[in-house]
Amino acid sequence: MRIIAKGKYPMTDAYHHIYNGEIHQKSRCIWHENTLVDFFRSSLIMRGYQSQDSSNKVWTRGEKRVVICLVDDYTTCSGEKNPYVPAIWDSNTLVITDNKVTCPTHYRVETLPASFFGIYAYEPEYRSWQPDRRFNFAINRIDTRRVALMLEYRKWLPWQPDRETVDYVNFNCWSWHGDNSSVKGLQQNFENEYHDLDQSVKDVHEITKDTDMPEMPYRNHDLDLESSMHQAWINMVAETYSGEAVIALSEKTFRTLVTPAPWQVYSGRYTVAYLEQLGFDCMSDMFDHGYDHITELRTMAPGDKLVEWWWTGNQNYQRLQSTEFEQVQSRGAQAAHHNRSLLAKLRGQWAQDFSAWWLTVLDKI
């Protein structure tokens, strides 16, 4: 069975060009993030801590350990593939992060004030939401989870009569550990990730190297990211991390929140509930985020988050199609405006919030 079909549009954008995107240029979120990390590292050095890894995320002084991890899932600092989150480290460890931890831990976690997310505040260029395709699914860096998501998506496309133009898809196959300089290298990156997939995923999505592997990377449009987001009914966002006990957010989610279009996010369990707790408008009154509480099992069967996420997306699309367009358009614009205003408010609160928070953390390191 043929699963992957090569798109006709060339992959011309280097991976680092994503940092030239609108949210990066206008919010300077990467600069703010790196500046804060440098501040933490400087403070630790002045207190006698020494770095224990090449990424400078783990620091020690005697028996004490401090882990600094922003935006990325802090559990990746453990060096374990599937760490048991409650007991990664002992009680002598302090984690400084923006992540939301949803389970008790043996170590101490100091989570930054929510106003940290103000680093993503910006006013996007006005674009009218005029959808002409179902989903927008854009992936640059791949891992086994994203490959599984792509395979699950493509499994259903043969049933679509207009399968090559029903959605906006850009699946680049960029890898930290691969060759990203040529199409052949990107194809190899996909093959490497497929090789590492759980056998349960392979059993459901059987593909052969000779017929399907060479067809990656896949792209079926020539729009930039922001344009494709404004021309799809639903933006299907795959966050970098999607653990069961840690919610790690990045610009991917906040760029979507300020876009006047419905969306779904594949992220840590209860991500949507957390965003709503923070005050963000997730359009839950007309859009189903029921996948938010589901566990990722990698069985690729009904009840697995990997499957339910796409199934829910199709159900949401059908729901939107049966709703008056002007109503959805107006509701999306309202949500985007609210979320832009909230991010701007958080940005303004950050300095005061951080100074008070930092005073409570200093004695613990």
Are the CB atoms for 176 and 129 separated by under 8 Å? Answer: no
Asked if residue 240 has pLDDT above 50, the reply is yes
The predicted structure's pLDDT at residue 2? 39
- Chain segment 168-222, per-residue pLDDT in tens: 999 999 998 899 999 999 999 999 999 999 898 888 877 654 444 447 899 999 9
The predicted structure's pLDDT at residue 214? 41
Return the percentage of the chain with pLDDT > 70, whole number.
Answer: 92
| Residue 122 tokens, joined | 């910006």
CA distances from 211 to 1, 3, 207, 266 (A): 9, 9, 8, 29
Q: Where are the domains of the chain?
A: 15-24+122-340, 29-120+349-362
- Chain segment 116-168, per-residue pLDDT in tens: 999 999 999 989 999 999 999 999 999 999 999 999 998 888 677 777 899 99
Q: Please, what sign has the CA dihedral across residues 61, 64, 65, 70?
A: negative
The predicted structure's pLDDT at residue 3? 42
pTM of the model: 0.92
Are the CB atoms for 154 and 3 separated by under 8 Å? Answer: yes
Are the CB atoms for 141 and 175 separated by under 8 Å? Answer: yes
Q: 15-24+122-340, what's its fold?
A: Rossmann fold (3.40.50)
> Closest Cα partner for 238 from 169, 164, 186?
169
The predicted structure's pLDDT at residue 207? 63
Asked if residue 18 has pLDDT above 60, the reply is no
Half-sphere exposure of 61 toward its Cβ, with a 13 Å CA cutoff?
A: 12
pLDDT mean over 92-118: 98
In 10 A of CB 67, how many CB atoms?
23
Mean pLDDT, the chain, whole residue set: 91
> Closest Cα partner for 252 from 148, 139, 343?
139
> Closest Cα partner for 220 from 266, 145, 154?
154
Are the CB atoms for 248 and 275 separated by under 8 Å? Answer: no
The predicted structure's pLDDT at residue 26? 97
- Chain segment 299-348, per-residue pLDDT in tens: 999 999 999 999 999 999 999 999 999 999 999 999 999 999 999 999 99
